[in-house]
Structure 1
């Protein structure tokens, strides 16, 4: 019966990777005890957006095996890399960028990082917006100071289940940094290579707006898994978003998808939806995957000012649910990206 169980599991495909769970090496355990099958599936990310579908498909396939009357499905997760890790211990570096300021890029980066960490991933968040760092404030740690460990490496701070570094925690509050390109490059190098990030599934990097020195330093220094573009729907933002997409393509960084922020507004008193900036405008950017549409939300702004990601403060709100789905869709895109370098067949353990 065990052989029949494994044969049945070979008919179940990962809905994003479009290969069966057995050849992908995602089945850690498949045994039969009496008339009950016990199956453990290792997802390619703790934030798998289609976990429910995978469970349903596994149940249906296993229950088709004669003699099996019930199935207990459990899950683990193992984030895979397509090649060499970007940094020691860091499986994926993901850049969150925009063509212009004011589109809510940092808010998206913070909430995506927090959502991935809440789902069980090991997450780091690097604030690469050296001139206008805001990540520390949004995490409620604006007054914290970065220290060095025994190996004289910067020790990332921790907040809400993730590790982070920001220039706001290294320079005096309110002090402007008047730096030229070489100094920016040196700072980015230190954040990446002189910090004790530890073992991470994802390192989210909040980029400054535009297509300048920081973006070039990052893409030329380490292997980046991919980039996310944050934009608002109106044409004036889309023009600059297109420039950011072009920059990443020229730097050979895959663009994993687009987040349309401030996509719409739901009036709290009437429940009516208003497309203040032209919802869906980001689809003009072409065939890039749409990771999600995030509404304007007063509570999300208040949460950011209070130093608590809205996905944690108000997880049931429309904005928080949209941002959580963005995080899970992004994790799914990373899994697809990593698959391209995996062997066609993996051994069954």
Structure 2
């Protein structure tokens, strides 16, 4: 299942419209960078690694539709699209990373504009293929931390829908399941957009992974009960010291797990690591529309007074001290994060 892919013949992008799940599996065809920005902002596509590929494909769309007769310079058009894409969701560093992988090509002066168009498109496609390989390595590394019989609380959605294919934290659970390990997942709803109950539960259905949905508020109860062996989640940005910014609710879940001596595992590709940020407190947190909180209905009734206001941060910060292990394509990293990450990356290069 490819969450997002380039269509070579039409030079368009096709992606799963995640707003429609689990009711229907529908696809969007994206033809312009403006349409890609709208898909990102409305969360038709989401998940840090998937956003990196979406950003690259957004620039490929701009390049594919370049018309020299229009009188505008290709490089200027791509740069303008890059700014628009990066600003669509500022917290997720992968989006900026994916865009930068393409804009770096604009400094090459040895290609004609037609050659540069093809270079941009081919590099965006290569980025998508590399994402699949990276996430398969992530999944295998993360599965090494999962024991036969584990019950795992999983936060948000980190499966194939969050990447091009496989996934990060849920990818590790899927890999362990396919190894024959008996794994049971407690899928927390992940309010307010319910990525857990809408998307992760749907993915577990596709892979045959046993699961149950729990409310976000019930996580502490299950952690305290002794029935949970591990907590798994992904990351939208990781600071140099190992602090993690991830979907809102990750911090509370990690606090409860830490208080009950339940290991907390964060799974992410190295492209999510932002070494320019020393600590997580310097990472900007996206504030989303209050309507996402207020427009829910229960038994057909509004959940809040018509004049109610709401605060809706999309992410929160989990300090590195609450995390037991970080998993990347380079391997499993334990505290101290910075020192051991450097060693794991060195070992990967040696391999």
TM-score, normalised by the number of residues in structure 2? 0.31
Name which structure has the greater RCO, CA cutoff 8 Å, separation 6+: 1
TM-score, structure 1 length as denominator? Answer: 0.31
